[in-house]
Amino acid sequence: MSYRVPFVDPREHYRRLKKEIDSVLTDTLSRGDLVLRSQLREFEQNLANFVGTKHAVGVGSGYHALHFSLLAAGIGAGDEVITVGHTFVATVSAIVHAGARPVLVEVGSDFNMNPAALEAAITSRTKAILPVHLNGRVCPMDSIQRIAEKHNLAIIEDAAQALGATYRGKKAGSFGLAGCFSFYPFKALGGLGDGGALTTDDPQVARIVTLLRYNGEDRQTGEYHYHGYTALLDNVQAAVLDVKLRHLPDWIEHRRQIAELYRKGLEGIEQLSLPHFQGTEYFDSFQNYVVRTTQRDALREFLKSSGVETLVHWPKPMWEHKGLALQDPGLSETQRICKEVLSLPMSAETAPEQVAIVVESIREFFERQPASVLRTAALNLSGPR
């Protein structure tokens, strides 16, 4: 089905950048620069400069950045890693594949790790904390860093959704031992297919991950130092990502303006929570614009019939997927979030006129609801969180 307002618009994205992308692709391909060449090194350097770390290492996906960071931090069998229950499954799979046990804790009203829940979950087996900067908002890193120092724990940041977001002027991915990014095509910095990178100030972490991403091999000496993986960030991808990285600050500014238009258009609807959280120390990059309502499924259907595409991240908690064999951690807020969240169209291409259509459709939906339904929905939304 074609939408009046698509969630994202990859064709329009390419149309706007066609000249720059085609030129860099032609250049890279005609040189035959396909694997581990200068374009990758330059992108890594520019990414490290952007995030404010000494090193960046490109890998095959955000998942690989997480997995390799954990391995580089020495996490393995018998260890526990604390992360949140409300995240993309790859965060948790990376912990499982590193051989450790994921311990899932509750999030706050901004969808990010709740420091009190984190501290309560620490045991003698805890080795690392994996905060997830969800939707383009950085976690409260001063509290998390204090807890990590007190208990001598490594921090690996899942910054897959937060490239360019800051907390107290510091960028996501520059707080912990390593920051992990995803270049999945619909991320704020999206590639031609999946890709990822990790950022770090630690030269040893950068070296280990550089070995792990290419079968454990030191390319200078030919020595295999580990049983590694085949998980490179392709050189052509790096060349294209480097072009896009130059546009990223403008795109983030655009996302923030779109978020502000949503705020102006939607505030005052009692049954709807908007993602404008308190705290002047945060600079949100709005990877996603996530609203909350107890009427979520009906609203989503209504928006679909009005030609507005939305997404739900994620419709059920990951521990309800039997194949993942995760224990139910009893996170009632996370459970509730799964039933209430709705991500509205948001990208560098989303236009103010499209926001107006979304706003009008949402207002129409709530105006059509019988008063009794609205009262119950508002009561439920403002209940304990």
Ligand X SMILES: Cc1ncc(COP(=O)(O)O)c(C=O)c1O
Least spacing, CB of residue 363 vs ligand X, in Å = 30
Q: Which of residues 71-110 bind ligand X (CB under 6 A)?
A: 87-88, 90-91
- CA 67 vs CA 39, 156, 290: distances in Å: 24, 10, 27
Least spacing, CB of residue 375 vs ligand X, in Å = 35
Least spacing, CB of residue 195 vs ligand X, in Å = 7
What residue type is 236 in one-letter code? Answer: V
* Separation between Cα atoms, residue 33 and residue 294, nearest integer Å: 52
Structure tokens at 68: 């390799």
Of 43 and 184, which has the nearer Cβ to ligand X? 184
* Separation between Cα atoms, residue 230 and residue 215, nearest integer Å: 6
Least spacing, CB of residue 356 vs ligand X, in Å = 28
Contact (Cβ atoms closer than 8 angstroms) between residue 76 and residue 96: no
Of 91 and 126, which has the nearer Cβ to ligand X? 91
Examine residue 347 and tell whether it contacts ligand X (CB under 6 A): no
Least spacing, CB of residue 118 vs ligand X, in Å = 17
Closest-CA residue to 248 (of 47, 10, 18): 47
Examine residue 161 and tell whether it contacts ligand X (CB under 6 A): yes
Of 51 and 261, which has the nearer Cβ to ligand X? 51
Binding mask 113-152 for ligand X (x = CB under 6 A): -------------------x--------------------
Examine residue 237 and tell whether it contacts ligand X (CB under 6 A): no
* Separation between Cα atoms, residue 263 and residue 269, nearest integer Å: 11
Q: Judge if the upstream peptide bond of residue 314 is cis by omega within 30 degrees of 0.
A: yes
Measured from each CB, the residue nearest to ligand X is: 62
What residue type is 16 in one-letter code? Answer: R
Of 182 and 350, which has the nearer Cβ to ligand X? 182
Q: Which span sits near ligand X by CB under 6 A: 97-105, 157-165, 349-357, 367-375? A: 157-165
Of 62 and 265, which has the nearer Cβ to ligand X? 62
Of 71 and 355, which has the nearer Cβ to ligand X? 71
List, as one string, the DSSP characters of 196-258: EEEEES-HHHHHHHHHHTBTTB-TTT--B-S---B-BPPHHHHHHHHHHHHHHHHHHHHHHHH
CA dihedral (250, 158, 310, 295) in degrees, to 10, reads -130
Of 48 and 66, which has the nearer Cβ to ligand X? 66
Binding mask 240-279 for ligand X (x = CB under 6 A): ----------------------------------------
Least spacing, CB of residue 205 vs ligand X, in Å = 18
DSSP 103: E
Q: Which of residues 163-202 bind ligand X (CB under 6 A)?
A: 182, 184, 194, 196
Binding mask 301-320 for ligand X (x = CB under 6 A): --------------------
Of 55 and 137, which has the nearer Cβ to ligand X? 137
Of 311 and 377, which has the nearer Cβ to ligand X? 311
Structure tokens at 197: 């990178």
Q: Count interface residues toward ligand X (CB under 6 A).
A: 15
Dihedrals phi, psi of 321, to nearest 5 degrees: -85, 105
Cβ-based neighbours of 113, under 8 Å, separated by 6 or more: 83, 84, 105, 107, 131, 132, 139, 140, 144
Least spacing, CB of residue 325 vs ligand X, in Å = 20
- CA 378 vs CA 271, 369, 382: distances in Å: 5, 12, 6
Least spacing, CB of residue 225 vs ligand X, in Å = 24
Q: Which of residues 16-75 bind ligand X (CB under 6 A)?
A: 61-63
Cα maximum dimension of the chain = 73
Q: Which of 158, 242, 340, 349 binds ligand X (CB under 6 A)?
A: 158
Of 158 and 333, which has the nearer Cβ to ligand X? 158
Closest-CA residue to 347 (of 4, 8, 14): 8
Least spacing, CB of residue 343 vs ligand X, in Å = 12
Q: Which residue has the tokens 């308190």?
A: 278
Applying CB under 6 A, the residues found at the interface with ligand X are 61-63, 87-88, 90-91, 132, 158, 160-161, 182, 184, 194, 196
